[in-house]
Amino acid sequence: MTNYSESPYTLGSIDEAVACCAPKPQLKVRALSVSYGDRRVLETVSMDIYRGCITALIGPSGCGKTSLLTSINRLTDMLPSARVEGSVCFEGQEILDTTVDTLRLRRRIGMIFQKPNPFPISIRRNLELPLREHGVRKRSERASRAEQALRDVGLWEEVKERLDSSALSLSGGQQQRLCIARALVLEPEILLMDEPCSALDPISSAVVEELILRLRGRYTIVIVTHNLAQAKRVANYAGFFWMTERVGKLIEFGQCQRLFDTPAHALTQAYVDGVRG
């Protein structure tokens, strides 16, 4: 595996990361259902997302994990057919309320997608654009925050010579780390990660995984992953989703270790065993 001690990160070593032992819910998801048109894809999900912890969502494709994430940052607003019911409470405030300013909400809840999606502009502008959009007027402040974000994701040394070249010229793993930096530069409180490693080669995947571990404690992270070993390595909490009659449901939620070692539900047991065996 990667040698952690030699990496140029500024977030401190993994051992220093804040342990997740005082579970304080930051997001309270209650009876959340998502439909596209007439089709319900996710039904009555209730769970708590704990501050500073990493929560892994696992389960087969199509059971609505992405839909859950996009409901939390209201990206579902972009799809005219999507309908979200229930409640998501973020520090005492209802996210699904139509009066919520989604732009500010998304600044506080960042998202990383499965396929890295840096904009087809320079590396520097990728980072400074969101800052400018959120009212950071001073150029020097934008530059220093961009540099900090790049250092946080361990990309600074790799790209500092070519900040003005296209972000698309980076490798897949570098692009994904750039996307993480782009989300971090806005100093969000929660990071939603939708299979952030599944489009990457194994080495880049390990680098990103290590990065996620370093973010623990500083950010609340919700990560969807198909890699159970990865979920076990990084997560404090885990939720298992399954489809019954083509509708996704949250089957089991709990401490990650517990969920993998002694699943309470037969489906969880079968899934964990099946993927492992």
Partner 1 sequence: MTERLFTLAVWMSAALVAVVLVWVIGDLVRLGIPHLSLDFLFAAPRDAGRNGGIGPILVSTVLIIGVTLTAALPLGLMAAVWLAEFTTRGHALGKAIRLSLDVMAGVPSIVFGLFGNAFFSIYLGMGFSILSGGLTLACMILPVFIRTCEVGLAAVTDTWRQGAAALGMTRTAAIWHVLLPAASPAIAAGMVLGIGRATAETAALIFTSGYVDRMPESLWDSGRSLAVHIYDLSMNISGGDTAADAAALVLITLIVLFNMLAQWLSDRWLHRRLVA
Partner 2 sequence: MLMILSKVSSLSRWNIDRTLAPLLRMAGMMCAAVLILIVLFLLREAWPLLGNGGWVNLFSDDGWYPLEGLYGLLPMLAVSLAVMLGAIMLAGPVGLGCALFLQFYAPPGLRKSFRLLLSLLAGMPSVVLGLWGLTVLVPIIALWQPPGPSLLAAIAVLTLMIVPTMALAGAAALSAVPADLVSGAAALGMSAKSRLLYVVIPAARHGILSGVLMSMARALGETMVLLMVSGNVVQYPHGLFDPVRALTANIALEMAYATGTHRAGLFASGLFLTLLVLVLAWLAARSVRYD
Element (H, E) at 47: strand 39-50
120 binds partner 1 (CB under 8 A): yes
67 binds Mg ion (CB under 5 A): no
102 binds partner 1 (CB under 8 A): yes
Distance set, CA 229 to CA 189, 191, 226, 257 (Å): 26, 21, 9, 11
Q: Which residues lie closer than 8 Å to 174 by C-beta, 6 or more apart?
A: 155, 158, 159, 204
Site mask, partner 1, residues 151-190, x = CB under 8 A? -----------------x----------x--xx--x----
* Candidates 8-16, 35-43, 61-69, 167-175; binding stretch for Mg ion (CB under 5 A): 61-69
3-state secondary structure of 80: coil
Q: What is the total count of residues that contact partner 2 (CB under 8 A)?
A: 13
134 binds partner 1 (CB under 8 A): yes
Contact indicator for 201, 173 with CB cutoff of 8 Å = yes
3-state secondary structure of 186: coil
104 binds partner 2 (CB under 8 A): yes
Among 83, 108, 125, 218, binds partner 2 (CB under 8 A): 108
Residue 239 tokens read as: 């939720």
Sign of CA dihedral 88, 90, 96, 102: negative
Residues 45-84 that bind ligand ADP (CB under 6 A): 61-67, 79, 81
Residues 59-98 that bind partner 1 (CB under 8 A): 73, 75, 78, 80
- The site for Mg ion (CB under 5 A) is made up of 66
Residues forming contacts to ligand ADP in the complex (CB under 6 A) are 36, 41, 61-67, 79, 81
